[in-house]
Amino acid sequence: MATPPPRQRRKDARPQELLDAALALFVEKGFAATRSEEIAARAGVAKGTLYRYYPSKDELFKAMVRDNLSVHIAESAAQAAQYQGPIAELLRQMMQAWWAKVGHGNAGVVCKIMMIEARNFPELARFYVDEVIRPSQSLISGLVMRGIHSGEFRAVPVEATVHMLIAPMLHLLLHEHSFGEHDSCHEGMGDEALLDAQIALLLHGLLAGPQGT
């Protein structure tokens, strides 16, 4: 296959360059304070070029969510549909994969931005709920119910269990992208070890004895 000319490669790269420029500015200034012309300038294009790919700043942010989050939810759902082993092990694998793909880097920053800006932008908040929160909760609740139906898990309140699985990861994400290297809350213990401890605690609890570890 022939290598496309440099101009064509540049044109094909523009959507991602615009997303990268927008993310950098959203981190620096916040979503509300960032103007579309600033995003275009950071990406090295005219404002009209930005609107050619993304008609509004809201549409650009939605593309950012799909590019950084929705794709990983779909991948996890496909993995879960094919998985045949113990659900507890699948939950552990998915939590570790989520952190590797989402907790670090751009995807985690997108989560943090949405949590900060959601109340001020209700349309984007509704989009995020439909695109990220509900699919994530549906995926995890489906796994919990599979574990209950197979007899691997006892009959726990599914909705509450889903929140208990998700909440510590969001807490870890906020620390990662708010305090970074200044966060000394878990010095000497890596993120993977923290997630392993979380799933072990959820599965076995604190009590010693037959149900403990």
Question: For 38-70, what is each residue's pLDDT tens digit?
Answer: 999 999 999 999 999 999 999 999 999 998 889
Phi and psi at residue 52, to the nearest 5°: -65, -35
Alpha-carbon torsion angle 203, 207, 211, 212, nearest 10: 70
pLDDT of residue 211: 53
Average pLDDT over residues 120-128: 94
pLDDT of residue 62: 94
- Residue bearing the bigger pLDDT, 98 or 208: 98
How far is residue 120 CA from its own chain's centroid?
Answer: 20
CB atoms within 10 A of CB 81: 9
* Distance in angstroms (rounded) separating the CA atoms of residues 72 and 186: 26
pLDDT of residue 198: 81
Distances (CA, A) of 163 to 37, 81, 88, 135, 181: 39, 21, 16, 13, 27
pLDDT of residue 41: 94
| pLDDT interval class at 37 (50, 70, 90) | very high
pLDDT of residue 179: 67
* Distance in angstroms (rounded) separating the CA atoms of residues 176 and 16: 24
* Distance in angstroms (rounded) separating the CA atoms of residues 96 and 72: 13
pLDDT score of 83 more than 80: yes
Question: What pTM was estimated for this model as a whole?
Answer: 0.81
* Distance in angstroms (rounded) separating the CA atoms of residues 25 and 53: 18
